[in-house]
């Protein structure tokens, strides 16, 4: 990582934004076309406050109860919350009630429950489908060939707004290999757009592969470590 561990969250945010900007330039992406989602899982509310004070608005969390507790403690701030973790069907209500976005939808049953449970007062829940581009059995997400049917079905649900696709690829260090996986997601999204779906979000890229993701059309990078530093050990 090219951000030293002793720097403040504000300094790290500046460094991450500079990386995004440099990648936009290097790969001829429009300036400002890649959003930064700060992934704050296992980091404290103080850390989130520090990031918010430095201008960060969008935060990503993986664990529902942790996220709901933090959100309650940060209710004085006007932040946007993205649920990026795996969602079990018995937890959909909490996600539908407490988040602006859900990134990791991988089956219609979950989407239908979120649609039914989304409070009218909050407006549609912004959603992405999680795709397993590497085909690893251990990774969550639908396979590329299952995406069109699921996407067209979700697009019919009135209280969800399908924004695009998300992937969490296997950890690779080679830029060309990283790009190859992201390109599969990007091509899949283009096919869906050609089929008439109005999608504008490709949620791909993390601390170690954001350049590859921006090169392949990411519109939203999910960055944890490079913003907040190493995650504290899980206490559970």
Ligand X SMILES: *Cc1c(COP(=O)(O)O)cnc(C)c1O
Q: Which is nearer to ligand X, 39 or 154 (CB)?
A: 39
Structural tokens at position 138: 């251990």
| Residue whose CB is nearest to ligand X in the complex, by number | 224
Task: Report if residue 150 touches ligand X, rule: CB under 6 A.
Answer: no
User: Tokens for 201?
Assistant: 């979000």
Q: How far is the CB of 101 from ligand X (least distance, A)?
A: 12
- Half-sphere exposure at residue 10, Cβ-oriented, CA atoms within 13 angstroms: 6
Question: Does residue 142 bind ligand X (CB under 6 A)?
Answer: no
In the complex, minimum distance from the CB of residue 232 to ligand X, in angstroms, rounded to a whole number: 12
Shortest Å, Cβ 221 to ligand X: 8
Closest CB 146 distance from ligand X, rounded Å = 19
Binding residue (CB under 6 A) for ligand X from 185, 206, 212, 215? 206
Query: What torsion do the CA atoms of 77, 213, 156, 140 make, to the nearest 10 degrees?
Result: -90
* Cβ contacts of 55 within 8 Å, gap of 6 or more: 13
Does 62 help bind ligand X (rule: CB under 6 A)? yes
**Residue among 63 and 152 whose Cβ is closer to ligand X:** 63
User: Is residue 47 within 8 Å of 73, Cβ to Cβ?
Assistant: no
Binding-site residue total for ligand X (CB under 6 A)? 13
Answer yes or no whether residue 141 interacts with ligand X by CB under 6 A. Answer: no
Which of 92, 167, 201, 207 touches ligand X (CB under 6 A)?
207
Position 224 contacts ligand X (CB under 6 A): yes
- CB nearer ligand X, residue 3 or residue 186: 3
Q: Which is nearer to ligand X, 215 or 220 (CB)?
A: 220
Q: Does 164 bind ligand X (CB under 6 A)?
A: no
Cβ distance to ligand X smaller for residue 96 or 226: 226
Q: State the number of CA atoms in the 13 A half-sphere of 196 facing the CB.
A: 4
Contact flag: residue 181 with ligand X (CB under 6 A): no
List residues near ligand X by CB under 6 A. Answer: 39, 41, 62, 84, 168, 206-208, 222-226
């Amino acid at each position: 990582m090219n951000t030293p561990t002793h720097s403040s969250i504000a300094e790290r945010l500046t460094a991450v934004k500079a990386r995004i900007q440099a990648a936009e330039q290097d790969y001829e992406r429009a300036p400002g076309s890649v959003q930064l989602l700060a992934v704050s899982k296992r980091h404290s509310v103080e850390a989130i406050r520090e990031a918010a004070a430095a201008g960060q608005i969008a935060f990503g969390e993986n664990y529902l109860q942790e996220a709901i507790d933090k959100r309650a403690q940060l209710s004085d701030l006007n932040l946007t919350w993205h649920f990026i973790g795996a969602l079990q069907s018995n937890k959909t209500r909490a996600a539908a009630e407490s988040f602006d976005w859900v990134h990791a939808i991988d089956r219609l049953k979950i989407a239908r429950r979120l649609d039914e449970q989304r409070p009218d007062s909050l407006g549609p829940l912004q959603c992405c489908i999680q795709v397993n581009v590497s085909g690893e059995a251990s990774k969550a997400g639908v396979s590329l060939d299952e995406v069109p049917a699921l996407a067209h079905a979700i697009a019919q649900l009135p209280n969800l707004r399908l924004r695009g696709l998300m992937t969490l690829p296997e950890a690779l260090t080679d830029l060309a290999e990283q790009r190859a996986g992201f390109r599969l997601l990007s091509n899949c999204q283009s096919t869906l757009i050609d089929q008439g779906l109005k999608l504008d979000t490709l949620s791909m890229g993390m601390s170690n592969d954001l350049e590859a993701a921006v090169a392949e059309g990411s519109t939203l990078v999910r960055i944890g470590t490079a913003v907040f530093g190493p995650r504290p050990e899980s206490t559970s």
